[in-house]
A = this chain, B = another copy of it.
Amino acid sequence: MSDQDTITKVNAAEKAALELAQTSNETRSDGLRAIADGILDRSEEILAANEEDVEEAKAMLEAGEYSQALVDRLKLDETKLQSIAEMVRSVAEQDDPLGKTMTARELDEELELYKVAVPIGVIGSVFESRPDALVQIAALSLKSGNAAILKGGSEALESNRVLHEIIADVTGDIADGWVQLIEAHEEVDMVLEMDEAIDLLMPRGSTEFVRYIQDNTKIPVLGHTEGVCHVYVDEAADIDMGTDIAFDAKVQYPAVCNAVETLLVHEDVAEAYLRKIANRYDAADVEMRGDAPTREIIDVNEASTADWDTEYGDLVISIKVVSSVQNAIDHVNTHGSKHTESIVTEDADAASAFMQQIDASSVFHNASTRFADGFRYGLGAEVGISTGKIHARGPVGLKGLTTSKYYLEGDGQLVASYAGDDALPFTHEEFEAEWEAGTLSLD
């Protein structure tokens, strides 16, 4: 794979992005339905390619290079292909994220400004392991009118090749070249440098992986690295609710970024609460690491200072006793990763202080941190979760793949008329209207 090949791919995507921006929702959704059909029609081909990947991965597993979990995630079968096709169809059914007029404002008579949702352009997505990620990202990109440059994990090489070929085949007539697959690491490094051509990068993978991307490109990056989330059990907490929430937030799926890593407990309820939650955690084999006050109440390992900044992604939790809600807030603002934070309390003032004063993309009151997710939030399919504050924050849906464009419809107006001593005034009146191509206000 030469540098020139990569440039050719990116240029093709750039060109296709301009075409894709002109397509109707119907065309894009029909394309998605064709992808779903294509995946089912060519399932044998996909499964044969996937079998090659799985065989290779099993050899790596025996060599101690890969985990069983990775091999499991990699494997496709008819049922999984059915659910992938269903996911693509559900993206097709979503509301068109494009073309909506966000504001319409009269600047002066016959001078009308419209702010309209449009695609971003060319999106680069680099992701690890599961081949269904490729289909999901391609589907979301197509629905939102964006060209996509995809780089999957090397362990899914053959599966990704076939899936990409099917997607490109059945949608080529919409905008040839809109979806590009890159494979080599050198291609990724090349893509990271093409900040003139690529508008947004969405890496999905480990903290180290996302950080590598962030550190090596000038292209804006949407995503998250750590998820160091907290549950704070207040002095006015319902103790049973606090126990259930802390259990759910840690145990229901410990490997994900919205799982809790540190439990903060108010000193006035620490005695009663810690014994309860320790019983539950013990029964689920959760390793607890506590500060000194915690260890006076329950017999757990000692937490080191590093524990307060650690995302375990596993059945491990650190526990700290605090003396006030303010104390909890300060701890979270110091050690949190601005992802998702939850307070359990029946005191509205404490909840309000915690939720407002903590700087995080999601703050919860009496709910498990695990709710921080695009599907649960009702955003439809999820592009990812952003812990940055720019463009999109928290779980990101199709809207995160759009930007805006200003359309100004005039009648020959000049700025000179609105400047100087006899300047005309602007009216600046908002009105309700959708900008539509071809319905321009020409007399």
Knowing A390-B403, A405-B361, A405-B362 are in contact, say whether A437-B120 is a contact too (CB < 8 A). Answer: no
Q: What residues of chain B lie closer than 8 Å to A394, measured between beta carbons?
A: 404-406
Does A200 lie at the interface of the complex (its beta carbon under 8 Å from any beta carbon of B)? yes
One of A69-77, A213-221, A312-320 contacting the partner:
A213-221
Knowing A394-B404, A406-B361 are in contact, say whether A356-B22 is a contact too (CB < 8 A). Answer: yes
Q: What residues of chain B lie closer than 8 Å to A407, measured between beta carbons?
A: 355, 362-365
Knowing A390-B200, A390-B391, A391-B391 are in contact, say whether A413-B362 is a contact too (CB < 8 A). Answer: no
Interface contact B440-A351, CB-CB below 8 Å = yes
Knowing A220-B220, A393-B404 are in contact, say whether A411-B366 is a contact too (CB < 8 A). Answer: yes
Q: What residues of chain B lie closer than 8 Å to A361, measured between beta carbons?
A: 405-406
**Per-position binary interface string of chain A over residues 359-396, scored 1 when its CB falls under 8 Å from any chain B CB and 0 otherwise:** 11111111110111000111000000000111101110
Expressed in whole angstroms, the Cα–Cα distance for A65 and B253 within the complex equals 64
Q: What residues of chain B lie closer than 8 Å to A344, measured between beta carbons?
A: 412
One of A38-46, A85-93, A244-252 contacting the partner:
A244-252
Q: What residues of chain B lie closer than 8 Å to A410, measured between beta carbons?
A: 364-367, 371
Expressed in whole angstroms, the Cα–Cα distance for A348 and B435 within the complex equals 13
Contact for A376 among B348, B372, B426, CB less than 8 A: B426
Q: Is the interface of A mostly helix, strand, loop or mixed?
A: mixed
Interface contact B121-A389, CB-CB below 8 Å = yes
Expressed in whole angstroms, the Cα–Cα distance for A17 and B358 within the complex equals 11
Does A416 lie at the interface of the complex (its beta carbon under 8 Å from any beta carbon of B)? yes
Expressed in whole angstroms, the Cα–Cα distance for A414 and B220 within the complex equals 34
Q: What residues of chain B lie closer than 8 Å to A94, measured between beta carbons?
A: none
Contact for A368 among B352, B360, B413, B428, CB less than 8 A: B413
Q: What residues of chain B lie closer than 8 Å to A372, measured between beta carbons?
A: 406
Q: What residues of chain B lie closer than 8 Å to A245, measured between beta carbons?
A: 412, 414
How many A residues are at the interface, by size bracket?
35 or more
A residues 427-443 near B (Cβ < 8 Å) are 428, 437-440, 442
The 3 A-B residue pairs whose C-beta atoms are closest, nearest first, are: A367-B410, A378-B428, A370-B415
* Residues of A participating in the B interface, judged by any CB pair closer than 8 Å: 17-18, 21-22, 105, 107, 111, 113, 120-121, 199-200, 214-215, 218, 220, 222, 238, 241, 244-245, 247-248, 252-253, 333, 344, 346, 348-349, 351-352, 355-357, 359-368, 370-372, 376-378, 388-391, 393-395, 403-416, 418-419, 426, 428, 437-440, 442
In the assembled complex, 18 residue pairs joining A and B whose CB atoms fall closer than 8 Å, in A order, are A107-B378, A111-B371, A113-B378, A120-B390, A215-B218, A220-B220, A244-B414, A245-B412, A346-B442, A348-B439, A348-B440, A362-B405, A363-B405, A364-B410, A367-B410, A371-B415, A377-B406, A395-B406
Other than the given A362-B405, A377-B406, A395-B406, 7 more pairs (CB < 8 A) read A22-B356, A220-B220, A245-B414, A248-B414, A355-B437, A362-B406, A370-B415
